[in-house]
Amino acid sequence: MASRRGVLIGGLAGGALAVGYMLRPRRYALPLTPGKDEVAFDAWIKLAADGVVTVAVPQVEMGQGVTTLIPQVAAQELGADWRQVAVEPAPISPLYANVPLAAQWAELTMPATPDWLIGEDGAWVRRWAQDHAFTITADGTALAAYEAQVRNAAASLRALLCMAAASRWGVAWQECGTAKGFVVHEAKRLPFGPLASLAARFDPPGTPPLRAEPPGENPDDLPAGSPLNFPRLDLPAKVDGSFVFAGDVRLPGMVYASIRHGPIGASTLAGYDKDAANSVRGLVTLVRNPGWIAAVATNWWAADTALTRMDARFAATNRADSSAIDAAMDKAMQSGTATRIHSLGDPDSYLSGRLPLQLRYEVAPALHATVETASATAHFHDGRLELWVGTQAPQAAREAAARALGIDPLAVTLYPMPLGGSFDRRLENDHAVEAALIARACGRPVQLMWSRKQEHMAARPRPPVVAVLGANVDPAGRIGGLRARIAAPPAAREFGRRLLHGDAPFAAIAAVAGETDAMVLAGAVPPYAIEHVAIDHVPAQVPLPSGRMRGNADGYTAFFTESFVDELAHRAGREPLGYRMAMLGNDPRLAECLQRVAALSGWGGGGDNSGQGIACHVIGAGRIAVVASARRDADGVRVDKLSAVADIGRIVNVDIARQQIEGGLVFGLGLALGCSTAYEDGLPVTGRLASMSLPVLADCPTIEVAFVKSAAEPADPGELGVAAVAPAVANALFSATGLRLRQLPLLSEDV
């Protein structure tokens, strides 16, 4: 029965008793299982008798260093010896709910919830995230979601260890401290390990006794190449090859599967040569589905060979085709109905009529180019499924597999595996569903691995986008008003339908057709002080399922804005850096990034065919400025140098932050110069990484990264570098060649 307080809360929220119910506290079983001679404290930390501190990490490791970052927070707060810190993937549990991401994705996760109920610390969104075991890894939210919880757990354990040691020494526990894996009091010290069992008998203080300073490192003290205070925990195993990915799982009696997906469209398996497949030695069975066919064999090569020989045929309608996609985008831009998602000042009055300057920019669909193709291992037996899979959305994968098999999600045990570079492709779980169905059909443990061609065939690429930006400027070139009309499929809502509701790809497209999607225009609002601004979204419907990608909408909205601003500076005869600085009185942090990157790169003004281009961008609380040095030679376009300065607030691990900025710059460079494909008759034209114009090691430019020391709350560095590269390179190529490139990838135009 609802309490009187619950009823009152419900009445205040409009009479819904469910609100009172949602706000009532709940208890969840502790998810960590201690091993031999281990004690589990809270949901985050286990301590062994030998002193090893194991920290649970509810985010998938996919190269971003989260399995070092979260343990480092625990180690610094606890006072542990980093050499005795270990990590284990956290099981699916409401206790690990990613509340900030659920709030950030509110238009997907809680579309009918009033804005006043949603906030990163709101009880409503927290309850929703817990009820859905929403532990998704995305948008760099690990610190925002988990740092406080991990610090509290570590501080409470520190107090318990001090209580245990103090009981032996006969002193007040508050007089004790911890350092390098020992509890210390004056000249006395005891290691953590032998105190573990005794510490578990005490009750922690009501308020965790946090250290005065939160975990962090000073970027000025750690230039590139400096000795590391906290080396990454995952690197030794990656270097020696012992790090286990989903494709490395081996089970007794396991067989291997390869798959062929139908063309992109409404595809149905129409026929295949079964006898040709059966001629392959080692073939175990074939598994058919309306939209795909898989071969299972004693080794993967035999399975893939059987598929090649059988020459599967599919009937498909509404096939993806670049000409149809381009036509749909043009139609949306020219005659589609726009919805305003951001307005500042009085843009309708100030920007009425034809603007004196309007420029069109285009972005082609982009592939993720993951290092590791999709892989999952499944074993279905006794009505239960065991699933070893790399996924950014473990509960969604569990539910999708259960739905496909017609079983309860509680009958699915998911073992989260690390990923070899996901770039947000593994937010989707089609490979987990396929592995589950194949495992049930063949009655044995099976490992499914996609070929590179199938990875591209089943891709959910970054969507195509077309934008027209217009501005009114005064005689001095100052921007008085700016309007952006951006045509794009409602790709985030489409993704949300697949992830949260289990919609098939084309069913998701139909479900959100014509809907406004603010998430596909994220980052479109300029960071500059412009009095009148209008940002409009025109929904486009294209025959191509699309989804999320590292950098997401910022990866193209920054290209639109920073390319356009650069053109305005050039037309006004203004130096690009000074032109931007004059508009940043409202954002001194971004202005500092620009000033410092100019000094770092030896910025010469971007004129006189210098080949230098500059760009800046803001994502959440993070800021970045990039200078690119580029040139055209006999082999095409070459980017020689990328310089970046970022302000990401307090930095927990400087080396990981630098890796993330550097990795983002290279990934963004790939998106700027290639990483795309055309579509013909439902098939991607690009089937191999080698044909995607990706930068190989020999092509990678010199990269230098610096950080602004800041006490602001931490911001994610992983997306920032991606967003700012393309406009910086485009602006550099204008400086080098005099040609303005307004399409991504840049090489899609004649350079």
pLDDT at 515 over 70: yes
Q: What are the tokens at 636?
A: 């095409």
Residue 2 confidence (pLDDT) above 50: no
* Exposure class string for 479-489: b at 16+ Cβ within 10 A, else e: bebbbbbbbbb
pLDDT at 612: 97
Position 15 scores a pLDDT of: 32
Q: Which amino acid is at 91?
A: P
Task: State percent of the chain over pLDDT 70.
Answer: 96
Q: Is 73 helix (H, G, I), strand (E, B) or coil?
A: helix
- Which residues, including other chains, have CB under 8 Å from residue 453's CB and lie 6 or more apart? 687, 688
Q: 118 falls in which pLDDT band (50, 70, 90)?
A: confident
Give exposure, 334-373, as e/b (b: 16+ Cβ within 10 Å): eebebeebbeeeebeebbeeebeeebebbbbbbbbbbebb
Can you tell me the mean pLDDT for 105-129? 85
pLDDT given for residue 47 in this prediction: 98
Per-residue pLDDT tens over the stretch 162-211: 999 999 999 999 999 999 999 999 999 999 999 999 999 999 999 999 99
Beta bridge partners of residue 627, listed in sequence order: 614, 643
Instruction: Report the distance separating Cα 552 and Cα 495, nearest Å.
Output: 12
* Rounded Cα distance, 133 and 402, in Å: 15
For residue 27, give Cα distances in angstroms to 33, 48, 127. 17, 26, 12
Strand 38-41 with 266-271, pairing: unpaired
d(CA 661, CA 646): 8
* Run of H or E including 289: strand 283-289
Say what the pLDDT of residue 476 is.
84
The pLDDT value recorded for residue 477 is 87
Nearest Cα neighbor of 68 from 651, 653, 550, 649 is: 653
How many C-beta atoms surround the C-beta of residue 614 within 10 A? 31
- For residues 537 and 515, give the distance between their C-alpha atoms in angstroms, rounded to a whole number: 10
As a whole number of Å, the end-to-end CA separation of the chain is: 71
Q: Residue 568 pLDDT > 60, yes or no? A: yes
> What are all long-range contacts of 17-26, with beta carbons under 8 Å and residues at least 24 apart?
19/124, 22/123, 22/124, 22/127, 22/128, 23/123, 23/124, 23/127, 26/94, 26/127, 26/130
Place of tokens 């409602």: 490
Residue range 231-268, pLDDT digits in tens: 999 999 999 999 999 999 999 999 999 999 999 999 99
Determine the number of helices (DSSP H) and then strands (DSSP E) in the chain.
Answer: 23, 28
**Residue 157 burial class via C-beta count within 10 angstroms: exposed 0-12, middle 13-18, buried 19 and up:** buried
Mean pLDDT computed over 554-582: 97
Residue 725, strand partner residues: none
Q: Are 75 and 82 in contact (CB under 8 A)?
A: yes
User: What is the per-residue pLDDT across 699-729, written as a single tens digit (0 to 9) for each?
Assistant: 899 999 999 999 999 999 999 999 999 999 9
Does residue 20 carry a pLDDT above 50? no
Mean pLDDT of all residues in 418-439: 96
CA dihedral of residues 164, 167, 172, 176 (deg, nearest 10): -40
* Cis ω before 394 (30° cut-off from 0): no
Q: Is residue 4's pLDDT more than 80?
A: no
Question: How many residues in total does the chain contain?
Answer: 751
User: What percentage of the chain has pLDDT greater than the value 90?
Assistant: 87
**Which domains are seen in the chain, by residue range?**
1-30 (no CATH), 31-97+133-215 (3.30.365.10), 246-317+374-449 (3.30.365.10), 323-366+462-748 (3.30.365.10)
User: What span, in angstroms and rounded, lies between the C-alpha atoms of 575 and 598?
Assistant: 12
